[in-house]
Chain A
Amino acid sequence: MSDVFASPKDVSRGLEGQSYLSNESIASVVYLAAKLGKPVLVEGPAGTGKTELAKAVASMAGARLIRLQCYEGLDESKALYEWNYKKQLLRIQAQNIAEAEGAEVTWKDIEDDIFSEEFLLERPLLQAIRSEDQVVLLIDEVDRVEIETEALLLEILSEYQVSIPELGTVTASQVPMVFLTSNNMRELSEALKRRCLFLYVDYPELEREKEIIKAKVEGVTDELADQVGRIVRTLRELDLKKHPSVSETLDWARALVLTGIATIDPETAKATLNLLLKYKSDIEKASKELTLSA
């Protein structure tokens, strides 16, 4: 994909066209990833648009998004490929029946047969490698997988090829753009980090958050977006257990618009704070700091 974007500015405009508001850091790294053909490791607090970024890049580039959602226990058979053994067993059984009826087939024939394309279950990584068209591969929440699976990912991201013993080596016809996201639950291996470009996506600055609100919340006025943005910024400065994420900000703004609120007075804020903050102690602390409880 090395020539899809002309400059970081171009990336930024393209993303905006997908209602994704980037900043210079995001735009530069996406641009570079396309130029260098390197995967991007995206890290940052929850709900800051890490997953959304990969989606927006895919639709901007007109590429298909292939997503590998990671979880603990994810292994090769779910990430890469698997032989469909149920089908294979049935095939063998069918063979037994055929033989009982006098047909003559060697084991070699069966083996060739059951390890063919028809019995292969493609998982996201293999799909991405074998894809003929442009794809963006999203490996979401990579910090959840075990070290062994991480090693497998690394291998694939270095070579963009896999060898399947029964079928031979499969090489990607084009290097896909790859995004890995992480919530920093676990330290990723040095080797994986070395392989990737690193992008930290923090909570957006005030102006950008306002733009995000305006892009994503229908019917919001400039004034309301501004107020929401400012209150959220103030909350993120407080020492809370969990700060409001962008998605929570959007939920809040939507709720305010739905209830026909044009400006946020202390009463409104107090009544709706639970949309932004999830812990009771956080809500109490915030009400005090914002002097909502008169």
Chain B
Amino acid sequence: MLDLLAGFVSQLRRSGIDISLTESLDAARAIEHMDLGDRESFKYALAATLVKDHSHSGAFDTVFDIYFASSAYDPAGDIAGELSELDADQGTQAGSASLGQDSGMNAGQGGNGQSLSPEELIEMIYKALLMDDQEWQRQLTRLAVTAFAGIEKGRPVGGVYYVFRTLRNLNLEALTERLVDARINSKKGEVSGLQAKLISDDVKAKIDAFKKEIESEVRRRLVADRGPEAMAKTLRKPLPEDIDFMHANREELASLKRAIQPLSRKLAVKLARKRRHKKRGPLDFRKTVRHSLSYGGVPAELKFKSPRASKPEIVVLADISGSVASFARFTLQMVHTLGTQFSKVRSFVFVDGVDEVTSLIDGSDDIGEAIYRVNTEADVVWVDGHSDYGHVFETFWEKWGKEITPKTSVIVLGDARNNYHASGAWALGEISRKARHLYWLDPETRSYWDTGDSIIGEYAVHCAGVFECRNLRQLEKFVEQLA
């Protein structure tokens, strides 16, 4: 068990979760107190000792499933037995002995479901879901994966592929619809919109749970085939703070969206505190004297004025074209959420034309949403919708240059891929001379800088700093030192 635990911990570390030695010792101590037969509470014991950040729990669950399902899983489980019981219970005619040979991995080759056709299997799943019979559903999950996933031994594809195949064959959308209809029809009298909505949400929740079962079933079989190490490797997902802005897929973007708000809020609290605790101000003589009265004239408690801390003024200039768009959105969102930590925040977005979007963002009570609207409402395309930094910097300098003051910190967001247009670096130079600081955040990996049409080097000479900013971790670090 300790070996298994050690493998498990190092796998968690590999997915980016920081685990100290004490914590892994705690985990080992913890499981001594748990009943190993009770898989759930065993899991919670490990989670409580090893994972101290809720946003890491998804990564934990995946690795846990891989490591601790495999040993518990018995691929030669008695499906035949289950099925005949099932037949007896549910009165279906579908089961047959031929399914009995169908043990786990051999599914693909074995004569599967010869008498239980796909339609019949789906029908059974429909009934199990309708009757909300969880045990039956679990058994059917195994049959469904056997029948539909077509798992091939030793083939190094990720489980996603098999899950997808199974789900496509099951056609869950149609199943969802049927279930909703059946439940609505079973109600007497008229069904209000509210009832219909509740029913449909309930069905969705059940279908989601069923999908999850399918995923873990596929995972279990793959682990049984390839071992946990290999599986963990193919399934590894980055933590939200490590997701690359430029290459995030849909699911990753969603988890970034979830992560950004709490992260920004925490950062705001941290900055506000830092500012408040920046030393104390000068002695407040009057207050000290006033307080000394309660100590018979002894100035027992010294009182200080609060310090005056200056807040920077921020101008963000963000490229929102194609591949860098999500980077720009997350950065804008973070900066605006931190609004009160700066004396002023103004935002400009550009592609080959540039437009101010400050009021669009500030005027909305949902910053996240406003930023997603910026794309459609700002007037940023001048000629062809390909980034033209040179033209943008020149226009910006011309139109807004006089509003830059020695209090302004200007931050440019973009990959400096200028589509071989003129650089307009002189205008950036002017901006830099007038501003307090000019920073550039580039979402590309440093090794790509100045390759192809990236001319970050040419702009860098005018900047007080150019930072690689590929993920939330790097973004947070930059913003923190800015305020």
Interface residues of A (CB under 8 A from B): 7-8, 24-25, 27-29, 31-32, 35-36, 38, 40-41, 43-44, 72, 85-86, 89, 93, 146, 184-187, 190, 193-194, 196-200, 206, 227, 230-231, 233-234, 237, 241, 264-266, 269, 281, 289-292, 294
Shortest CB-to-CB span from A272 to chain B, Å, is 13
Query: When the two chains form the complex, which single residue of A35, A206, A230, A266 contacts B33, counting CB atoms closer than 8 Å?
Result: A35
- B201 contacts chain A at the CB level, 8 A cutoff: yes
CB distance from A217 to the nearest CB of B (A): 20
Q: A24-B41, A36-B29 are in contact. List 13 more A-B contacts (CB 8 A).
A: A8-B38, A27-B41, A32-B30, A35-B30, A36-B26, A38-B26, A85-B300, A198-B49, A200-B54, A230-B198, A237-B201, A281-B365, A290-B194
Task: Tell which of A7, A190, A199, A230 touches B201, judged by Cβ atoms closer than 8 Å.
Answer: A230
Considering only residues 288-316 of chain B, those with a C-beta below 8 Å from chain A are 294-296, 298, 300
> Which B residues lie within 8 Å of A184 (CB)?
54, 262, 266
Identify which of B269-277, B338-346, B373-381 touches chain A.
B269-277
Complex: A38 Cα to B205 Cα, angstroms: 36
CB distance from B382 to the nearest CB of A (A): 34
Contact between B194 and A292 (Cβ–Cβ < 8 Å)? Answer: yes
The residue in chain B whose Cβ has the minimal distance to the Cβ of A192 is: B52
Bound Cα distance A241, B369 (Å):
11
Give chain B residues whose Cβ lies under 8 Å from the Cβ of A8.
34, 38, 41
Assuming the contacts A8-B41, A28-B48, A146-B277, asked whether A194 and B194 have C-beta atoms less than 8 A apart, the reply is no
CB distance from A74 to the nearest CB of B (A): 13
Interface residues of B in 250-296 (CB under 8 A from A): 262, 265-266, 269-270, 273, 277, 294-296
Given A36-B26, A233-B201, A266-B193, answer yes or no on A186-B270 (Cβ-Cβ < 8 Å).
yes
CA A206 – CA B209 in complex, angstroms?
Answer: 13
- Contacting A24 at CB < 8 Å: which of B40, B53, B295? B40
Q: Which residues of B contact A (CB under 8 A)?
A: 18, 20, 22-23, 26, 29-30, 33-35, 38, 40-41, 44-45, 47-49, 51-54, 57, 192-194, 196-198, 201-202, 205, 262, 265-266, 269-270, 273, 277, 294-296, 298, 300, 365-366
Inter-subunit contact A265/B194 (CB<8 Å): yes
B201: A residues at CB distance < 8 A? 230, 233-234, 237
Known: A24-B40, A230-B202, A290-B193. A7 touches B273 (CB 8 A): no
CB distance from A146 to the nearest CB of B (A): 7
Assuming A266-B194, A291-B197, is B44 touching A36 (CB within 8 A)?
Answer: no
In the complex, A138 Cα to B330 Cα: how many Å?
A: 37
CA distance A294 to B196 in the complex (A): 14
Contact in complex: B54, A186 (CB < 8 Å) = no
Which 7 pairs from chain A and chain B are nearest by CB? A291-B193, A28-B44, A193-B52, A28-B41, A197-B48, A198-B52, A35-B33
Contact indicator B265/A185 (Cβ below 8 Å): yes
List of B residues within 8 angstroms of A85 by Cβ = 295, 300
